[in-house]
Amino acid sequence: MAFLDHLSKTQKILLAVFCFPLLPFYLCYVCCCASDTESEEVEEHKGHKQITVEIHPKNRTPSLRKKFSFGKGKVSPKNEAAHDNKGFVNDQNSTQGYKTNVYVYPWDGSNLKSMLIDLNQFKQLDDYASKVGARNSVKALVQDLLKGTNRDIEKLRSIWMWVTHHIEYDVQGYFNPSQRSGSPDDVLRTGKGVCAGYSSVFQQMCSLAGIECQKVSGHSKGFQYKPGKRFTGSGDHAWNAIRLDGKWHLLDSTWGAGHVSKDGHRFTFKYNEFYFLTHPALFVEDHFPLDGQWQLLKPQRSLKQFEDAMLKKSGFYNSGLLSVKPEAPTIKSDGKTTVTINSSAPRLFMMSLNGKENHGILTLRPDGMKVDVYPPEVGTHTLSIYCKDPDSFQNMYEHVCEYEIQCKAVNKEMRFLEDLNNPVGPSWLSEQHGLREPSQREPMVRTNDGRCSFGFRVENHLALMAMLKTREFRMTDDQQRRHVFQSKKGDHVEFLVQVPRPGLYQLSIYGNNKSESEKYNYICSYIIFCNNPKVNWPVYPLQYATWKEDYELVEPLSGVLPADREVHFKLRVPGVSQVSVKARDRHNLSLGADGFWSGSCRTTGCVDINVMIKEKMADCTSSFILNYVVENNSASSPPAPVQTTISSTASSPPAPVWTITSSFALHHHLQLRIIASSSDLAHFALKPTASVSQKNQN
């Protein structure tokens, strides 16, 4: 005011003329300052200033609008703590509020849930809520469910458990919209509903419990989804977002309750914990909200990214799997496709191409698996991969992921057995069953001369046997066993293999715990490939039941001997007093300083030749341990000796009885009972022991 006193009257008039247009702004400034001063005085008295963000629904899919109230705060619903829900991303991907309440994409692998939860604390509550019967009204039901609950998370859990254990998916209503209702009262009355019914009744129950809950609609990769599908329209699924302690979380009670059969006509209750407070970075794998803000992610995913992304089903994460490659759902193949999966712990896997399990080689790793797929023909194929916890008591394999393979060329060499035993190759599982330190670590062995060997270190209680099979031509049961020769030295076992002709073979190894039973369980297998047209190996010599696993044969290894030839024999047979060869005459072998028996005989005039032993020199009998066929008689089956001991009171050697079963739920659960007769020709009787395991599909 002292400044105005020094101005003349003319100067004061000119100043008023120039400043008059600014008068309204000046008055506003004065008012605001006065209001702020008053507000600050009030807040200083209360101790702090409060800003609250509220979220309001818009149509079916909520839009996150913010309402600010200065100084007054928000009146919280009963049993709900008042917290600011700051930082939701708006439609232009700009961030509002002080702190973003979103989760980072991609998933960091730390937690399947959007908050840290100890599920063990809910055991008693889960048991109670899942057994509460239906009531006449939603309000009465919620009152029963909330008994004994204090925190919002407990109330939410009780509601979740009841809905997922009592509401059945309305498969008839899905195909006939006129016959279904989404109202909570109708869902409660009928005990059925589609996704809209699940989400509506869940929303009303939460509202009655004082928990803020929204209904979210969008696209989903659920029933009838195929890799590469494009999504249009207003969405085909509904789920819920709930607010706990000021933060939003996602859940889907429809998918948490169970799953629908492939034809869509049958619903099965199968509780799925995965869809309760799922981490948003995982939830977006199969849920895409029409309002992108309900992804709760930063950055948000576009619809195209959602469509192009590989679908990792809930079973993928429930099984402790971490990643899969390739990441695209569609694969272009030139005859071979490789898929790898990483896991947090050892897991069992199985694969199928168009519903068949014999078009690929699956190998287990401690941290996952690898599968090489060979489509049988040009065109489009569906590859499905399943997983199981080896410690689980259930035979159920969960469907974890699926690919579409577009094959442009076929690898005609890879024609596997119809009953191919997967997994192939040594692994943590074969070690668990007693096969350690394998000499061949790869699942496929290529041989140019048609011969190969497989060695292992084994425990003393384990007895082994092996069989060689192919689909190139028919092999008799006797040939399947006699193209493999087994020997053991100490704790080391070796399988010698010589293939009869070029082709693709599978060597299957079975084991038996000597102290428990006579059943031989499948342990491990290899693929053997030979493309040399000159290969034509005969069988190994026939081993009688008296041949022991610690015996070792050096020569001759061929079970078919040339006619009119001098043949040298060398073998290690510990603990016996005599080893002889019975041709036309009997020839005793000599024991060398190296512990091997050796000698020779001629094959002239012989149909077959037998190797015999005496355990004690005073024994009057000799037992047959090996049998050879002489070449000019090889067209016929090996003759069965009338007696296998040289004695006037001779008796046939004991016939070994082997029962082979698969140790995996993924195989066909057949027992092969092999009974070796006096001629050691095998007879097989197939005995089904269990049905093929179901494959869980979300």
Concerning whether 252 is annotated as a catalytic residue, the answer is yes
Residue 155's φ and ψ, nearest 5 degrees, are -65, -45
Helix residue ranges per DSSP H, 20-102: 23-46
Residues 587 and 656 sit within 8 Å (Cβ to Cβ): no
- Long-range contacts for 514-521 (Cβ within 8 Å, ≥24 apart)? 514/461, 514/462, 514/463, 515/461, 517/659, 518/657, 518/658, 518/659, 519/659, 519/660, 519/661, 519/671, 520/463, 520/465, 520/658, 520/659, 520/660, 520/661, 521/433, 521/660, 521/661, 521/662, 521/663
Q: Which amino acid is at 74?
A: K
**Gap between the Cα atoms of 632 and 639, Å rounded:** 13
**What is the DSSP secondary structure assignment for residue 328, as one 8-state letter?**
S
Residues 478 and 469 sit within 8 Å (Cβ to Cβ): no
Concerning whether 237 is annotated as a catalytic residue, the answer is yes
For residue 65, give every residue at least 6 positions away whose Cβ sits within 8 Å of its Cβ, in sequence order, or none. 55, 56, 58
Q: Which of 126, 166, 213, 237 is catalytic?
A: 237
Written as six digits, the tokens of 295 are 């992804």
Q: Which of 252, 286, 608, 680 is catalytic?
A: 252
Residue 579's φ and ψ, nearest 5 degrees, are -130, 130
Q: Which amino acid is at 621?
A: T
For residue 315, give every residue at least 6 positions away whose Cβ sits within 8 Å of its Cβ, in sequence order, or none. 387, 398, 399, 400, 696, 698
Closest listed residue to residue 252, CA positions, set 208, 216, 292 = 216
Burial 367-394 (b: 16+ CB within 10 A, else e): ebbbbbbbbbeeeebebbbbbbbeeeee
Residue holding tokens 């693709």? Answer: 504
Could you give the maximum distance between any two Cα atoms of the chain, in Å? 154
**Gap between the Cα atoms of 114 and 276, Å rounded:** 9
SS3 labels along 513-524: ECCCCCEEEEEE
**What is the DSSP secondary structure assignment for residue 38, as one 8-state letter?**
H
End-to-end CA, the chain: 80
CA trace torsion 429, 432, 438, 440 (10° rounding): -10
For residue 98, give every residue at least 6 positions away whose Cβ sits within 8 Å of its Cβ, in sequence order, or none. 51, 84, 86, 87
**Gap between the Cα atoms of 155 and 463, Å rounded:** 57
Report how far apart, in Å, the C-alpha atoms of 631 and of each of 484, 559, 580, 608 are: 19, 9, 21, 9
Residues 582 and 542 sit within 8 Å (Cβ to Cβ): no
**Gap between the Cα atoms of 370 and 339, Å rounded:** 6
Closest listed residue to residue 488, CA positions, set 454, 523, 447, 513 = 454
The 3-state DSSP class for residue 23 equals helix
Q: Given strand 552-555, what is the order of strands in its sheet?
A: 552-555, 566-572, 597-602, 590-591
**Gap between the Cα atoms of 260 and 266, Å rounded:** 6
SS3 labels along 636-666: CCCCCCCCCECCCCCCCCCCCEEEEECCCCC
Written as six digits, the tokens of 98 are 């002080």
| Positions marked catalytic | 195, 237, 252
